Chains A and B, each alone.
Chain A
């Protein structure tokens, strides 16, 4: 078991930073919240629009296909979410990737792949964002961008739960899960 005695509630417009050492279970907690991993015990409850169709999960893998061009992948997600394809162009501009539209996934740097993954958040507006180290591999400008996206999302009444190392988001609550390590005796 990774952690126990964990409890928190988040309301609209709030964000929560998950902190803790490597291997303390931040990613696992996010996967549980996203419904990908089943928890051993306990309950995750979303009220209102926070059901499956109300969340975005951005894991530490970027889901970028090597042979598709960047814009094709953004357009795919637009179609996937049933959104107008034009949303893809707008999202690519917003994350500062529109100059790389025609580059296939294998030609993108790690930071650019991350930016491409971020377009999913913008293409389909959903109230709950679950982000696993969203600023990993990003440059200073990219980290500022993520901070802005999070702030705008919260201003619209959205919620963000993110695993972070280093600099966090302005005005965010912090949950350190290192101290919740399950006792081995149990």
Chain B
């Protein structure tokens, strides 16, 4: 227990220091939403139609960006060997690392999302809902992404593999999350869709550490 918690604290500190992993995904997220008016046209109606979908795709892809480095650095410098050789379960390590990176990167994405929502002509009174949806959605994206990250950790250019493995796992969160935003934009009932998004992230938290741990044990074998 102390091991997983100390890894969590260390990862959080490492993610914030040294230029931070959060800068690139947050910049990517902001850029894709700011580009949307140039691509789909600046009319309010067009933005309100395309906005929720574009935002959710941007959130998914921004969450995918930090995945390539999630376990790779630890594998390359021998830290994973040290963790595994000390008899601590890889599941706890995977959970601690993914959660720390979500706090460092996923929460900033969620904080930014209401701003982008308003930029895309969304109703400002829905900001709280958009924040909540992005928060649970990015949690699901990070945890499902961690499986791909662990599988690709031992590969030199594993980014493509991460995308191929992870994107199918993103589909449920993609559908429910975009449905939440769409319902919010159209003034429909969003509660059910938000619950389903949250259930996808709970499922991810409960299962992904086991998948990632299995892949990591293979990577250090």
Contact = CB atoms under 8 A, between A and B. Distances in A.
B84 A36 contact: yes
B14 interface: yes
A76 B79 contact: no
B170 to A, nearest CB: 30
- Chain A interface size range: 20 to 34
B2 A57 contact: no
Given A63-B77, A63-B81, A38 B221 contact: yes
Interface in A55-103: 55-65, 67-68, 76, 79-82
Given A36-B220, A62-B78, A63-B79, A79 B6 contact: yes
Interface string B68-92: 0000000011110110111110000
A36 B221 contact: yes
The SS class assigned to the B binding surface is: helix
B7 interface: yes
A53 interface: yes
A62 B86 contact: no
Contacts of B79: 63, 65
B168 interface: no
Given A62-B77, A80-B2, A80-B7, A53 B87 contact: yes
Interface in B1-28: 2-3, 5-7, 9-10, 13-14, 17-18
Contacts of A64: 77
A52 B87 contact: yes
Contacts of A60: 78
The SS class assigned to the A binding surface is: loop
A36 B6 contact: no
Nearest to B76: A61
A63 B82 CA distance: 7
Nearest to A105: B77
Nearest to B87: A52
A62 B6 CA distance: 19
A58 B81 CA distance: 8
A153 interface: no
Contact of B86 (A37, A57, A67, A79): A57
A23 to B, nearest CB: 18
A81 B78 contact: no
A68 B221 CA distance: 27
A37 B78 contact: no
Contacts of A34: 84-85
Given A67-B14, A80-B6, A56 B86 contact: yes
A63 B18 contact: no
A119 B77 CA distance: 17
Interface in A20-46: 34-38
A64 B76 CA distance: 10
B70 to A, nearest CB: 15
A51 interface: yes
A120 B82 contact: yes
Nearest to B89: A52
Contacts of B10: 68, 76
A162 interface: no
A99 to B, nearest CB: 23
B87 A55 contact: yes
Given A38-B221, A65-B14, A120-B82, A79 B77 contact: no
Could you say which of B14, B18, B79, B81 has the most chain A C-beta atoms within 10 Å of its C-beta?
B81
5 contacts: A65-B14, A67-B18, A68-B10, A68-B14, A81-B86
Interface of B: 2-3, 5-7, 9-10, 13-14, 17-18, 76-79, 81-82, 84-88, 220-221
Given A36-B81, A57-B86, 5 more contacts: A38-B221, A58-B82, A65-B79, A80-B86, A81-B2
